[in-house]
Structure 1
Amino acid sequence: MASAPLPLFYNGLEPLSSEMHGNYRIRPQDRASFVVGQHAVPVTVDEFPLAQRYMPIVFSVGPESVPIALMGLNEGVNVFFDDEGRLRDAQFYVPAYIRRYPYMLARLRPDSQDLSLCFDPTAESIGPFEDGDPVFVDGQPSELVKNILAFNETFEQAGARTAAFTKELDEMELLMDGEVSIQPEGAAQPFVYRGFRMVNEEKLNDLRGDQLRKMTKSGMLPLLYAHLFSLSLMREIFARQMQLGQAPQPQLQPTA
């Protein structure tokens, strides 16, 4: 496969093959060790309505912004998963990016548009185990693998919608550098978080005519407000960090 940079969480990628992985099985997992200490993960626009109930949604800096859900406000801090990768709250919405691992659709050759179902060979959930569900049955993908493939196809489609969404925001110049200042009781100085982008609410409120109608008809408007409403959770995430004894140092604290 091409030596392109690997996505977050992945240590390698192999295409699933009945010849190479005919004896492989998939074990159910009760933890996600790969997410330990990860404070931010990408989310798709399809997830905004659910994710905004639990996590702040911000946008990455750079020329091509990506929506990101924050599970902590500082690098190395995750308030929703413990040190073994188990959920602290069973009701928490786990982003699809995490649920997708260790699988993903990838191009085997740069000159090809075809996507193949691949997996991270270092993952704990798939391998030549004695127990678990088979990956292949009589040389054909099992029902479980078919479901995994369908999930990944849905994820790719949501990713395409998300890319179009963020491109539209950039073209309309609706994103601005974000900053959140949190002053806990008793602290001499505030905790200031930067290093992310957010929707400029003043510009959004000034939209008129065709632009506003277009956003309303396309369904963008409620997604933007979901993002803006979610920012109030910054302080809740901060409070969780304090409760877990993972309070950062004051002053400039990069977020995303």
Structure 2
Amino acid sequence: MTEKTLPAFYQKPRPIHAEQDANLALAETANYLFAASSNSVPLVAAEFTLACKHFPILFADGDKPLPVALLGLRSEENLFVDVEGKWQASYVPAYVRRYPFIFMENADKSEYTLCIDEAAPGLVGDGERRLFNDGKPTELLDNALAFCRDYQGHHAFTSEFVEALAKAELLVDNRADVSLATGQKLSLAGFKVIDEAKFNQLPSEEFLRWRERGWLHLVYCHFISMSNWAGLIDLTAEQGKS
């Protein structure tokens, strides 16, 4: 995997090895400063119910649109991470919680290996929250493996949902032009939203199929999440004053 294709946050991901990482541990006090310059992070479908209460859910433009939680109106600004690295919302997206662990696939995409970003600021040479004890994975590492496996498992369903949106031509380009009370103007582009009018015109048979697949709920969560734009604008204005 080249540097250009590395997922957001990850700088030096590599497989975890019991011998090499015998003394590796996570810092006692974790923070989210590693996410402070990311104005969006990927979402899987299972998160929509909680994420829609806090962030606009958009679809990043590209060959394969990707659902994301919008975290800021500027390209390198996350409004939900304060100067101390604390997350300023009751829900933290799974992509963020997964760090510094990640599954990486081999060349023929037949296997996934649990990896860790050795450049992560939360890694220490020794500590209480170790990855291994006497060469055996600790509960922390077992939980990380289970979390990454579960996260990866949600990708297939999420991809199927997004492919259905694209096939039905429901995703449309969008642009947000925001004027703050200070007079400053911000513009955000490069994302898509679901066209509500087109969605409401789905044939009855197709609508029922979407209900059976569990996709209707995801569409409605997306629509609900649009109400969070106002909150982002307010947060942007507040941080501009500080």
Answer yes or no: same fold by TM over 0.5: yes
Secondary structure in 2 matching 1:21: coil
Aligned match of 1:115: 112
The 1:146–1:139 alpha-carbon spacing in structure 2 relative to 1, beyond 3 Å, is same
Alpha-carbon separation, structure 2, partners of 1:30 and 1:112: 32
Per-residue displacement from partner, 1:45-66 (whole Å, max 9, x unpaired)? 1100000100001001122000
1:175 equivalent in alignment to 2:171: yes
Aligned match of 1:30: 30
Larger deviation: 60-69 or 132-141? 132-141
Q: Does the CA-based 8 Å contact 1:41-1:68 persist in structure 2?
A: yes
Aligned match of 1:152: 148
TM-score of the superposed pair, with normalisation by structure 2: 0.92
Q: Does the CA-based 8 Å contact 1:39-1:74 persist in structure 2?
A: yes
Q: Percent identity?
A: 31
Per-residue displacement from partner, 1:142-193 (whole Å, max 9, x unpaired)? 1111111000001001122211111111111110011334455584x96554
Secondary structure in 2 matching 1:213: helix
Q: Does the CA-based 8 Å contact 1:32-1:86 persist in structure 2?
A: yes
Per-residue displacement from partner, 1:194-217 (whole Å, max 9, x unpaired)? 321000101100112221011111
Q: Which amino acid aligns with 1:133?
A: R
**1:83 to partner: Cα distance:** 2.9
Alpha-carbon separation, structure 2, partners of 1:51 and 1:79: 15
Secondary structure in 2 matching 1:19: coil
Aligned match of 1:126: 123
The partner residue of 2:208 within 213, 226, 248 is 213
Per-residue displacement from partner, 1:100-132 (whole Å, max 9, x unpaired)? 00000112x303511111000011223422x22
Aligned match of 2:219: 224
Q: Which amino acid aligns with 1:224?
A: V
Secondary structure in 2 matching 1:180: strand
Q: Which amino acid aligns with 2:220?
A: Y
The list of structure 1 runs, each at least 4 consecutive aligned residues, that deviate by more than 6 angstroms after superposition, is: none
**1:27 to partner: Cα distance:** 2.2
Alpha-carbon separation, structure 2, partners of 1:192 and 1:138: 54
Structure 1: runs of 5+ lacking an equivalent: 247-256
Secondary structure in 1 matching 2:20: helix
The partner residue of 1:194 within 168, 184, 189 is 189
The 1:122–1:185 alpha-carbon spacing in structure 2 relative to 1, beyond 3 Å, is closer
Aligned match of 2:78: 78
Structure 2: runs of 5+ lacking an equivalent: none
TM-score of the superposed pair, with normalisation by structure 1: 0.87
Alpha-carbon separation, structure 2, partners of 1:239 and 1:185: 9
Per-residue displacement from partner, 1:10-54 (whole Å, max 9, x unpaired)? 001111111211122222333112111221111111100000100
1:164 equivalent in alignment to 2:148: no
The 1:10–1:165 alpha-carbon spacing in structure 2 relative to 1, beyond 3 Å, is same
Alpha-carbon separation, structure 2, partners of 1:53 and 1:100: 21
Q: Does the CA-based 8 Å contact 1:182-1:235 persist in structure 2?
A: no
Alpha-carbon separation, structure 2, partners of 1:37 and 1:238: 17
Aligned match of 1:3: 2
Secondary structure in 2 matching 1:203: helix
Alpha-carbon separation, structure 1, partners of 2:19 and 2:187: 54
Alpha-carbon separation, structure 2, partners of 1:168 and 1:51: 21
**1:236 to partner: Cα distance:** 1.6
Aligned match of 1:251: none
The 1:111–1:192 alpha-carbon spacing in structure 2 relative to 1, beyond 3 Å, is closer
Aligned length: 241
Q: Does the CA-based 8 Å contact 2:180-2:233 persist in structure 1?
A: no
